[in-house]
Structure 1
Amino acid sequence: MRRRALLAAFTALVAATATFGVRLVTADAAPITFTHPGVLVSRPQLDFVKSKVNAGAQPWLSAYNQMMASRYASLSRVPAPRATVECGSYSNPNNGCTDEREDAIAAYTDALAWYITGNAAYAQKSIALMDAWSATITSHTNSNAPLQTGWAGSVWPRAAEIIKYTYSSWPNQARFATMLRTVYLPVVIQGSASNGNWELSMMEAAVGISVFLDDKASYDRAIARFKARAEAYVYVTADGSQPKYPPVGGVDTRAELISYWQGQSTFVDGLSQETCRDFTHTGYGLSAISHIAETSRIQGEDLWPSLADRERHALGLHTKFENGTAVPSTICGGSVVKGLGPVTEVAYNALANRLGYAMSNTRTYTEAKRPQGTNNLFVAWETLTHANNPA
């Protein structure tokens, strides 16, 4: 209860500073000028990938072939936009949910294909997909609307950044920007008190959209919320005897925290708030953390060093069990639901290759899963874009 009172006092302080025109300044702020393309992948990274594919080098060539053989790269794909996308729990009902997510992945796939091949047909297909949705969608509804908005909103800016800054013509670009600003950003920027993967995915969308829109205020707001959520999502011993409380939602006693952590009361380095739920949802959260960190690095802020211990321990713990190590009784009662997914390439490249951390479990998992493809939600082709990418 004391934490709630402190939170209320801080909220009042923020309101007071806004009333008198004073802006609270944090150490982390948006760059003076955003780097484009700069959502998850940069131009130097794209150039590295293109050179490796053209040289027939592995694992990039096999990853590229995987992408080009997927349904997402089909030039005959017909977009399926709708004005209202309705998504219930676990996408039931599913009225446009899969269509929206997969059209966004297809737009990103085509943008990558355009950059690597130079074939303008792929750029035009990416534009056609983005234009179809920007001409149609007005809202998301039902219980999974915030998460759906976050998933699709994470992928659209990746495609848009590549097309806007590497292709010659996109007449409806402004309409697409308006879609991101009016349909997606107001939803995701609010965050969520649900399981942590929700808010992390929503902040990924908010960060990517802010970069595309050159919106410094929204970028700062999203990064601040992201940092608080990431710290509350993955435990490390430096946190003390228990994980940090989530930034919103009213969880502020140890009993409430244990319940929120799926009944887990013993905490070890790398455990996540959803580990004892299942590894798939945990993978969503860890993936979103890596995507935001990578975008921040491209934008010159680089959150990787501050997130390194949480992300490397989290990936190490979960990939250890994915690789076959028995789960001790102190973790989730000795039984976990595996299925981490294709989510390790971005973080492994940043932490092991760039920062030099030893990550043997993550390396074993990552190399065994190559080429890592797509989870058909918001993760796509990360062996292609980030495997051993020094740029």
Structure 2
Amino acid sequence: MRKRVLLAAFTALAAATATFGVRLVTADAATTATAAATTAAQVKAPAAFTHPGVLVSRAQLDFVKGKLAEKAQPWTAAYNQMAASRYASLSRTPAPRATVECGSYSNPNNGCTDEREDAIAAYTDALIWYYTGNTAYAQKSIALMDAWSATIKSHTNSNAPLQTGWAGSVWPRAAEIIKHAYGTWPNQARFATMLRNVYLPVVIAGSSSNGNWELSMMEAAVGIAVHLDDKASYDRAIARFQARTAAYVYIAADGSQPKYPPVGSVDTRAELISYWQGQSTFVDGLSQETCRDFVHTGYGLSAISHVAETTRIQGQDLWPTVSERMRHALGFHTKFENGTAVPSTICGGSVVKGLGPVTEVAYNALANRLGIAMSNSRTYTESRRPQGTNNLFVAWETLTHANNPA
């Protein structure tokens, strides 16, 4: 059986995947020209990172703060949802562990839920502080981050890489707001050391598992690299992210079948069909996990949107490059979520729905900023506002990204 020779370096991956075969459908020719000119070299780390700069920027935060002052919707309802959640409780007690053990589907669950939810709580508190100025929330965010940075040493068991990716995606969002907007954080350096030593070595290595794993891990790696001002890790993570994104969502420009994953042993059509959950008919927007279920597909699409948004904030915008895959992926999956019957050629005519609260970031970037018509995605997104949290790594994105032009 033919086996592809695995690439030895992520820089080679960057060169091999610089162009995804994108056919943009945008509001103007200028956007198409921008996408055509986008290369891997242009999305390397900026000369200086922008802070706060992981998923949300200062301008985005200020836009929402202004809308909340006006009591405008959907931001006010989204804020109230967040403020009423358990993550916003000032009486929350952090539950750090030196070793977080997570088996398949978090069984065993020794600290897995605690870690993820403390990270979401730290981010929630940071957002509330920014929007309200109530320093008690900044201090609670700091207390949560300090508790974990003083304790955690490793993640173990089969889900350790994914758990590291999920928690590692959220911690930098909170840390960016506290360090660069609040500013008073005596143990910030210890927290940075935790990210560098406990999280980054795991996530930067990537994964040959289902694509949502590696995409979440690259989201964590990119966010951590921004927070640490680590250009080398940023470049390495972005290169792997580009390769995995191209292999996760199919578009017709790929040819008769999806791209092979960037690592692992899948390198024949038969193996590829098995990896794509038995699906042998490929249509625009189908993902590697569509026929598994929409929940895991949503994880992957969310991670893609988060990384693309962070690159935009950093001045190296990947949205034009991933727009064709993402517009099709969102439209394809939200169409079925909205009630369209599943044809027999897709997953045998039956899918497991549950995409989740994952569309706001991409819908805002593609429909509002790039002017791409996305009627299915709009129906799904607007009918589910305010989109809250999946209790893993997605949180409050109607609040932070709905109709946000910043």
- TM-score over 0.5 for the pair: yes
- Corresponding residue SS for 1:179: helix
In the alignment, the residues of structure 2 paired with residue 321 and residue 65 of structure 1 have an alpha-carbon distance, to the nearest angstrom, of 30
Q: Which residue of 1 aligns with 2:240?
A: 225
2:277–2:288 CA contact under 8 A, matched in 1: yes
Q: Aligned AA for 2:403?
A: N
Gaps of 5+ in 2: 13-39
2:96–2:152 CA contact under 8 A, matched in 1: yes
Q: Which residue of 2 aligns with 1:22?
A: none
Q: How does 1:171-210 map to 2 (within 5 A)?
A: 171-210=186-225
Q: Which residue of 1 aligns with 2:30?
A: none
Q: Which residue of 1 aligns with 2:113?
A: 98
1:237 equivalenced with 2:252 (yes/no):
yes
In the alignment, the residues of structure 1 paired with residue 312 and residue 122 of structure 2 have an alpha-carbon distance, to the nearest angstrom, of 24
1:384 equivalenced with 2:404 (yes/no):
no
Q: Which residue of 1 aligns with 2:290?
A: 275
In the alignment, the residues of structure 2 paired with residue 122 and residue 27 of structure 1 have an alpha-carbon distance, to the nearest angstrom, of 38
2:11–2:239 CA contact under 8 A, matched in 1: no
Q: Which residue of 2 aligns with 1:290?
A: 305
Q: Which residue of 2 aligns with 1:4?
A: 4
Q: Which residue of 2 aligns with 1:363?
A: 378
Question: What is the total number of aligned residue pairs between the two structures?
Answer: 379
1:46 equivalenced with 2:92 (yes/no):
no
Identity %: 85
1:256 equivalenced with 2:271 (yes/no):
yes
Q: Which residue of 1 aligns with 2:89?
A: 74
Q: Which residue of 2 aligns with 1:17?
A: none
Instruction: Render the CA deviation track for 1:332-374: whole Å, top value 9, x for unaligned.
Output: 0000000000000000000000000000000000000000000
Structure 1 position 54, deviation (Å) = 1.1
- Corresponding residue SS for 1:361: helix
- Corresponding residue SS for 1:86: strand
Instruction: Render the CA deviation track for 1:59-111: whole Å, top value 9, x for unaligned.
Output: 00000000000000000000000100000000000000000000000000000
Shift in CA distance, 3/305, structure 1 to aligned 2, threshold 3 Å: farther
Instruction: Render the CA deviation track for 1:239-263: whole Å, top value 9, x for unaligned.
Output: 0000000000110000000000000
In the alignment, the residues of structure 1 paired with residue 180 and residue 67 of structure 2 have an alpha-carbon distance, to the nearest angstrom, of 21
Q: Aligned AA for 1:327?
A: V
In the alignment, the residues of structure 1 paired with residue 41 and residue 48 of structure 2 have an alpha-carbon distance, to the nearest angstrom, of 18
2:43–2:317 CA contact under 8 A, matched in 1: no
Q: Which residue of 1 aligns with 2:24?
A: none
Q: TM-score, normalised by structure 2?
A: 0.92
In the alignment, the residues of structure 2 paired with residue 92 and residue 71 of structure 1 have an alpha-carbon distance, to the nearest angstrom, of 23
Q: Which residue of 1 aligns with 2:102?
A: 87
Q: Which residue of 2 aligns with 1:305?
A: 320
Q: Aligned AA for 1:89?
A: S
In the alignment, the residues of structure 2 paired with residue 178 and residue 269 of structure 1 have an alpha-carbon distance, to the nearest angstrom, of 42
In the alignment, the residues of structure 2 paired with residue 287 and residue 347 of structure 1 have an alpha-carbon distance, to the nearest angstrom, of 8
Shift in CA distance, 127/361, structure 1 to aligned 2, threshold 3 Å: same
Structure 1 position 26, deviation (Å) = 3.7
Q: TM-score, normalised by structure 1?
A: 0.95
Gaps of 5+ in 1: 15-24
Structure 1 position 13, deviation (Å) = 10
Q: Which residue of 2 aligns with 1:33?
A: 48
Structure 1 position 29, deviation (Å) = 1.1
Shift in CA distance, 261/73, structure 1 to aligned 2, threshold 3 Å: same
- Corresponding residue SS for 1:140: strand
In the alignment, the residues of structure 2 paired with residue 28 and residue 128 of structure 1 have an alpha-carbon distance, to the nearest angstrom, of 35
Structure 1 position 28, deviation (Å) = 2.7
Q: Aligned AA for 1:297?
A: R
Shift in CA distance, 12/39, structure 1 to aligned 2, threshold 3 Å: closer
Q: Aligned AA for 1:193?
A: S
Structure 1 position 168, deviation (Å) = 3.2
2:43–2:311 CA contact under 8 A, matched in 1: no
What's the Cα RMSD here? 1.3
Q: Which residue of 1 aligns with 2:178?
A: 163
- Corresponding residue SS for 1:301: coil
Shift in CA distance, 12/265, structure 1 to aligned 2, threshold 3 Å: closer
- Corresponding residue SS for 1:85: strand
In the alignment, the residues of structure 2 paired with residue 375 and residue 258 of structure 1 have an alpha-carbon distance, to the nearest angstrom, of 29
Q: Aligned AA for 2:106?
A: S
- Corresponding residue SS for 1:4: coil
Q: Aligned AA for 1:232?
A: A
2:360–2:401 CA contact under 8 A, matched in 1: yes
Structure 1 position 2, deviation (Å) = 5.1
Pick from 148, 154, 171: which aligns with 1:133? 148
In the alignment, the residues of structure 1 paired with residue 42 and residue 376 of structure 2 have an alpha-carbon distance, to the nearest angstrom, of 34
Q: Aligned AA for 1:35?
A: T
Pick 1 or 2: higher relative contact order, CA cutoff 8 A, min separation 6.
Answer: 2
Instruction: Render the CA deviation track for 1:250-292: whole Å, top value 9, x for unaligned.
Output: 1000000000000000000000000000000000000000000
